[in-house]
Amino acid sequence: NQYNIQEVKEPDFKEIDGKIEYEKSFIEKLETQGKSGNIEIIARAKQRLEKLLNEKQNEQANYEKNKVERENESYK
């Protein structure tokens, strides 16, 4: 018998990692300029950063879950 098992493609985080690094550097630049005038901008940037980090974490978790499921299927 021949088994047709699709490999789970590892997610490519280059784009999201680039966005995360941009937000981190943006926040750092704003904080060095002084927080008083940039409080709202910093808060929005931190929200975007948190969203990106959560997105990356979810993609990684989904990849790991799918990988385990595929491995379990191959042993059946």
**Above 50 in pLDDT, residue 45?**
yes
Q: Pick the more confident residue, 66 or 17.
A: 17
- Tell me the whole-structure pTM to 2 decimals: 0.74
Q: How far apart are CA 55 and CA 48, in angstroms?
A: 10
Q: What is the pLDDT of residue 8?
A: 62
- pLDDT tens sequence across 1-20: 455 556 667 788 899 999 99
- Residues 46 and 27: beta-carbon distance below 8 Å: yes
Residue with token string 């409080």: 39
Q: What is the pLDDT of residue 20?
A: 94
Q: Residue 49's Cα: distance from chain center in Å?
A: 10
Mean pLDDT, the chain, integer = 84
- pLDDT-based confidence at residue 66 (cuts at 50, 70, 90): confident
